[in-house]
Amino acid sequence: MKRLLPALVLLCASAVFAQNSGFGPLDTTAPAGLTPDDIVKKMGARESEFAKVREDYGFRRTVKIQTLNDVNKIDGEYQMVADITFSKEGRQVENVVFAPQNTLERIIMSPSDVQDIERKLPFVLTAEDLPQYNIKYIGKQKIDELDTYVLSAEPKTLEKNQRYFQGKVYVDQQDFQIVLVNGKTVPDDLRRGHEDLHIPYTTYYEQIDGKYWFPTYTKGEGILHFAAQDGSIGEDVHVRSYVRYTNYKRFRSTIRLIYEGQDVTEGADKRKQEEQQKTPPQTAPPASNPPKQ
């Protein structure tokens, strides 16, 4: 996110999260029957499966970013609702269905914010991604009715023009898939006059198809600290962000149907798509807040 000044200055943020009773105490004892490496490997394999499956799903993404004044009243807002669907050729396409006038005056979104919304907030940590991260086992923790393993993740190196997650990853002990993440995207640009810093966030996941956990809700909140520049006065801006992922529908199948040497999957996929379009959309319930950092 950027601030409009004689020279554009990007936003910095720190998150403010509330303690939630749905999170049990953290148990730092070693896992039973598994090593931390076993947990990481199982998670990576499961996340790789999910990443491939998710490519076949369309969904609706609702984005809302707000600035708040000194009395916590909204004084600017950006909204966009887009449907992620598939073209006749099977390519994923984005169709904007709602985009009211942007009333943000103290900040604007940067290209990295857009990239994070599309790719990093709905975080997936596949086996292919694991070599890029330092993963550490923290312990076990109950989230509502779920028993989870808690891991910390941070990138080993920061490659130019690449975005990474840094924070905590909560992995379901039964499915070995991510059910919650709490952290931020990195790197931040700390150069004066070119700052590009991002607010921490939490993403919640739900089991949509009875097998895999899909991201359904992201919330970020923080105070953005603007440094003074060119004689201007520095300013703190309170920002909230919300992203919801709803109406998941499977439009493609990774299984190909071959009959007498010909691929007949297209017809089956089309019939499946027509059936799913008749199904009422699934909307994620309100999510609870993460534990206090």
pLDDT (tens digit, 9 = 90+) per residue, 74-126?
999 999 999 999 998 889 999 999 999 999 998 878 889 999 999 999 999 99
Structure tokens at 6: 């004689």
- Which of 74-78, 131-135, 244-248, 287-291 has the lowest average pLDDT? 287-291
| Extents of the domains making up the chain | 2-277
Q: Compute the C-alpha angle 85/172/81, nearest 5°.
A: 25
Q: What is the mean predicted confidence (pLDDT) over 222-236?
A: 73
pLDDT (tens digit, 9 = 90+) per residue, 137-186?
999 999 999 999 999 999 999 998 899 999 999 999 999 999 999 999 99
* Residue pointed to by tokens 């299984």: 255
pLDDT of residue 230: 66
| Cα distances (Å, whole numbers) of residue 132 to 44, 100, 126, 196, 291 | 12, 39, 10, 22, 27
pLDDT at residue 283 greater than cutoff 90: no
pLDDT of residue 24: 96
Average pLDDT of the chain is: 83
pLDDT at residue 7 greater than cutoff 50: no
**37 Cβ contact list (under 8 Å, min separation 6):** none
Q: Taking the alpha carbons of 221, 222, 227, 230 in that order, is the dihedral positive or negative? A: positive
Q: Name residue 79's beta-bridge partners.
A: 64
- Which of 77-86, 154-163, 200-209, 223-232 has the lowest average pLDDT? 223-232
pLDDT at residue 2 greater than cutoff 60: no
Structure tokens at 63: 């984005």
pLDDT at residue 71 greater than cutoff 70: yes
Q: What is the mean predicted confidence (pLDDT) over 194-223?
A: 92
Place 20 in a pLDDT band, splitting at 50, 70 and 90.
Answer: low
DSSP assignments along the chain, one per residue: -EE-SSS-EE----B-----TTB---B-SPPSSS-HHHHHHHHHHHHHHHHHHHTTEEEEEEEEEEEE-TTS-EEEEEEEEEEEEE-TTS-EEEEEEE-PPP---S-B--HHHHHIIIIISS----TTTGGGEEEEEEEEEEETTEEEEEEEEEESS--TT--EEEEEEEEETTT-SEEEEEEEEE--B-STT--B----EEEEEEESSSSSEEEEEEEEEEEEEEPP-TTPPPEEEEEEEEEEEEEEEE---SSPPEETTEE-HHHHHHHHHHHHHTSPPP-PPPPPPPPP-
Query: Residue 162: what residue type?
Result: Q
Place 55 in a pLDDT band, splitting at 50, 70 and 90.
Answer: very high
C-alpha dihedral, 123 to 124 to 129 to 134, nearest 10° = 60
